[in-house]
């Protein structure tokens, strides 16, 4: 049987990747079908009940800036919000929110149902349908039972369901996460189509019931007093209060001894698994085995929602036998009486080698077939959602014959993620981190809208409201940085400077407000960081022009006659309709630009060098095998991966700077001939 309807885009799997892919394609005007084996899996959180975190929060902000859904949903479903790494610089500030996982799932269902042009159906995909005119072009999917659903492009976002196998101790059974049904036949058909599959694994800890916990024995981890939304649509707006706390406790030598004595009864150490696990999310048995000298490991107890008593034990994934889990968990301070509602387990699944993908996430083997999420070897909801958005956009653009949208690693963490996967590959579940982004000082979580919303609007994904807000903020920042500032000094101490040459400096003698900017005039008429003794500070305060951040924004937006005598605008007309709620954000951007001016300018110069290498395209017909000067490993890697640019070639493992120099010479010769 064959469906009569032809869809523009078919998305297989409704996890975080599949939902973003389907929404993106539908928002670009494509008739889209989202297929899932069970409705419970829609935007499910089978692991930790949170969105964001170090590096991951940046991804969510970028998804939102482009017009994706994840940021909006977590702003509605959060029960605790926190900005991580506040004690460090803004390059590594990362938002993280505990979610009410059931509400998040429900909010995504509402978003899918409200999206025009998008149909959600429960069905299992077992094979690909190839078009009649070419075996190298996708033509749709085949459902269990033989039904054929034609489509012009297909996005596979199958998560951890392909040949999913759950392990507890020496027992194993086919299953997806959280007891949902696994996909068994599809993986074999992908292999038959020529996709080499690999085996990865991940795990999850037990869930315990809140009334059974001794919270007085643990350390409370409250959320922030001021909630900073994930979505730029909500920037500066009130989105609610923290309604739950997390709690911190530790393992101890007694518990470690129990794990060590029973480690052979776990699935990996008992030889029952073959998959490769994540490096940065170790099971408790891995922690005890690899770090025998550690007397304790940190644990966080995270509520899973407001409508459930279940609590997630972050940092304690395990596949120990159930009886040993019972004994071990109760050795932990605060968990002495813990009642386990779900036991921890390990899960293996099939995924593809992401080196088989183009940077657009389209398969190199079958045109029109895209892959997104954990099927590409990544871990985490945020990494999945970011890939889903890009795959959905590019599947839609393919049906219109348009070039794909691929942010590069100098533009976005999404670009870092995709570039790492498609040029370097991964031998273990990939996790984004701030350390992976070499340009992280300019790829901050606070400026994703300034970096990406123009692109999202040009694609047709970001709304006009988003675009206008981002542009109003951009113009206000540029205007504030361009204003002439006059000091309050007299005579020789008076000077005029462009704010673009000002460096923000801390001054303990000035009022302590979050968005404070202090400016000190120097003898040369420019501003520089003061080097003062403590007794000089009070005198300095009298000659320093001090402006609260919000007032600075008000100056940027106000007419000339409204300015105080000590501050005058540049001789240009500025009309800046800036919403009140954006003033604090503008002030923060101005402060960061000035405080880190030298570092930011240096990084922007590095970005320009990077883009020069990226602009040097490598023809796809280059014969690397016969290229004199290339080492054998470089010939093999370049021939296999066919990088699109010199920059991409430079990031392939096994391609040295000397190999890049050879390629540059070859390109120059080709251009001359």
Pick the CATH number of 616-672 from 1.10.1040.10, 1.10.150.570, 3.40.718.10, 3.40.640.10: 1.10.150.570
Task: Give the torsion through C-alpha atoms of 422, 47, 55, 456, to 10 deg.
Answer: 70
pLDDT score, position 575: 45
Show the tokens assigned to 356.
Answer: 């088989």
pLDDT < 50 regions, the chain:
1, 484-498, 500-575
Q: How far is it, in rounded angstroms, from Cα 332 to Cα 312?
A: 14
DSSP element (H, E) containing 95:
strand 94-99
CA atoms 5, 11, 14, 18: torsion sign: negative
Which residues are registered as beta bridge partners of 249?
A: 299
HEC assignment per residue over 301-326:
EEECCCCCCEEEEECCCCCCCHHHHH
pLDDT score, position 4: 60
Q: How far is it, in rounded angstroms, from Cα 449 to Cα 471?
A: 9
Helices within 352-463 (DSSP H only): 381-399, 413-419, 448-459
Judged by DSSP in three states, 617 sits in strand
DSSP string, 251-305: --HHHHHHHHHHGGGSTTTTT---SBPPSSS--HHHHHHH-TT-S--EEEEEE--
Q: In this structure, which topology does domain 7-200+349-460 adopt according to CATH?
A: FAD/NAD(P)-binding domain (3.50.50)
Show the tokens assigned to 661.
Answer: 């120099």
Helices then strands, each counted (H, E), the chain:
19, 25
Break the chain into its structural domains and give their ranges.
7-200+349-460, 207-346, 466-597, 616-672
pLDDT score, position 2: 55
Show the tokens assigned to 2.
Answer: 């064959």
Distance of CA 94 to the CA centre of its chain: 10
Helices within 400-492 (DSSP H only): 413-419, 448-459, 464-482
Q: How far is it, in rounded angstroms, from Cα 238 to Cα 224?
A: 13
Radius of gyration of the chain (CA): 27
pLDDT score, position 521: 32
CA atoms 376, 381, 382, 386: torsion sign: positive
pLDDT score, position 576: 56
Cα 7 to Cα 11, 187, 385: the distances in Å are: 10, 23, 22
Residues 6+ apart with CB under 8 A from 363: 195, 356, 357, 369, 370, 371
Cα 661 to Cα 287, 428, 613, 629, 670: the distances in Å are: 43, 31, 12, 9, 14
DSSP element (H, E) containing 94:
strand 94-99
Q: How far is it, in rounded angstroms, from Cα 509 to Cα 39?
A: 59
In the chain, helix, strand, coil percent, each to 5? 40, 20, 40
Q: For domain 207-346, give the CATH number.
A: 2.40.30.260
Where in 493-552 does DSSP place strands (E)?
A: 496-498, 517-519, 545-547
- Write out pLDDT tens, residues 611-630: 998 898 998 888 998 888 89
Q: How many CB atoms lie within 10 A of CB 522?
A: 14
Q: How far is it, in rounded angstroms, from Cα 212 to Cα 632?
A: 62
Show the tokens assigned to 187.
Answer: 């993986």
Q: How far is it, in rounded angstroms, from Cα 411 to Cα 66?
A: 12
pLDDT score, position 224: 96
pLDDT score, position 540: 29
Which pTM value belongs to this model? 0.87
Q: Among 36, 76, 74, 80, which residue's Cα sits nearest to residue 56?
A: 74
pLDDT score, position 562: 34
pLDDT score, position 493: 39
Helices within 524-631 (DSSP H only): 537-543, 549-557, 583-595, 597-615
pLDDT score, position 483: 60
pLDDT score, position 291: 95
């Amino acid at each position: 049987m064959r469906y009569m309807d032809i869809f523009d885009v078919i998305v297989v799997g409704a996890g975080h990747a599949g939902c973003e892919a389907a929404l993106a394609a539908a928002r670009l005007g494509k008739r889209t079908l989202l297929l899932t084996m069970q409705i419970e899996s829609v935007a499910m959180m089978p692991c930790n009940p949170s969105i964001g975190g170090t590096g991951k929060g940046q991804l969510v902000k970028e998804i939102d800036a482009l017009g994706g859904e994840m940021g909006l949903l977590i702003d509605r479903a959060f029960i605790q919000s926190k900005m991580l790494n506040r004690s460090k610089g803004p390059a590594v500030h990362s938002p993280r929110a505990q979610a009410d996982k059931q509400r998040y799932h429900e909010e995504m269902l509402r978003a899918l149902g409200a999206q025009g042009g998008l149909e959600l159906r429960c069905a299992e995909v077992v094979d690909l349908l190839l078009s009649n005119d070419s075996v190298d072009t996708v033509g749709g999917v085949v459902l269990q039972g033989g039904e054929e659903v034609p489509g012009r492009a297909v996005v596979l976002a199958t998560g951890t369901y392909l040949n999913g196998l759950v392990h507890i101790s020496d027992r194993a059974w086919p299953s997806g996460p959280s007891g949902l049904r696994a996909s068994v036949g599809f993986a074999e058909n992908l292999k038959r189509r020529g996709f080499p599959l690999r085996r990865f694994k991940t795990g999850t800890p037990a869930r315990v019931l809140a009334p059974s916990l001794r919270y007085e024995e643990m350390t409370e981890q409250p959320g922030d007093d001021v909630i900073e939304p994930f979505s730029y649509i909500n920037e500066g707006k009130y989105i609610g209060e923290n309604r739950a706390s997390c709690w911190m406790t530790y393992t101890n030598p007694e518990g470690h001894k129990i794990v060590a004595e029973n480690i052979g009864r776990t699935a990996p150490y008992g030889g029952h698994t073959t998959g490769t696990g994540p490096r940065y999310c170790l099971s408790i048995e891995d922690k005890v085995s690899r770090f025998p000298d550690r007397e304790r490991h940190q644990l966080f107890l995270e509520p899973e929602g407001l409508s459930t008593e279940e609590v997630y034990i972050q940092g304690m994934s395990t596949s120990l036998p159930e009886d040993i889990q019972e004994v071990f968990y109760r050795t932990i301070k605060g968990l002495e009486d813990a009642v386990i509602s779900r036991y921890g387990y390990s899960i293996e699944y099939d995924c593809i080698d992401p080196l088989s993908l183009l940077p657009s996430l389209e398969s190199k083997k079958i045109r029109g077939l895209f892959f997104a999420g954990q099927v590409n070897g990544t871990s985490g909801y945020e990494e999945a959602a970011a890939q889903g958005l890009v795959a959905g956009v590019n599947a839609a653009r393919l049906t219109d014959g348009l070039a794909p949208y691929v942010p590069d690693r100098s533009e976005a963490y999404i670009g870092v993620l995709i570039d790492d996967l498609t040029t370097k590959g991964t031998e273990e579940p990939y996790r984004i981190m701030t350390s992976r982004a070499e340009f992280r000082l300019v790829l901050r979580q606070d400026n994703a809208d300034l970096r990406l919303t123009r692109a999202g609007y040009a694609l047709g994904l970001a709304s006009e409201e988003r675009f206008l807000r981002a542009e109003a903020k951009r113009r206000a920042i540029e205007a504030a940085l361009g204003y002439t500032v006059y000091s309050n000094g007299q005579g020789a101490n008076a000077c005029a400077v462009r704010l673009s040459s000002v460096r923000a400096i801390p001054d303990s003698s000035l009022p302590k407000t979050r968005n404070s900017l202090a400016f000190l005039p120097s003898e040369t008429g420019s501003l520089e960081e003061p080097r003062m003794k403590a007794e000089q500070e009070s005198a300095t305060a009298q000659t320093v022009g001090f402006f609260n951040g919000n007032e600075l924004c008000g100056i940027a937006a106000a007419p000339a006659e409204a300015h105080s005598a000590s501050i005058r605008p540049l001789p240009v007309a500025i009309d800046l309709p800036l919403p009140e709620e954006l003033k604090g954000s503008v002030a923060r951007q101005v402060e960061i630009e000035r405080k880190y001016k030298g570092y930011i300018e240096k990084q922007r110069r590095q970005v320009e060098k990077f883009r020069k290498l990226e602009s040097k395209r490598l023809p796809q017909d280059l014969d690397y095998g016969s290229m004199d000067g290339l080492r054998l490993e470089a010939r093999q890697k370049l021939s296999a991966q066919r990088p699109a640019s010199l920059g991409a070639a430079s990031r392939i493992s096994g391609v040295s700077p000397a190999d890049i120099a050879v390629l540059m010479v070859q390109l120059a010769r080709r251009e001359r001939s």
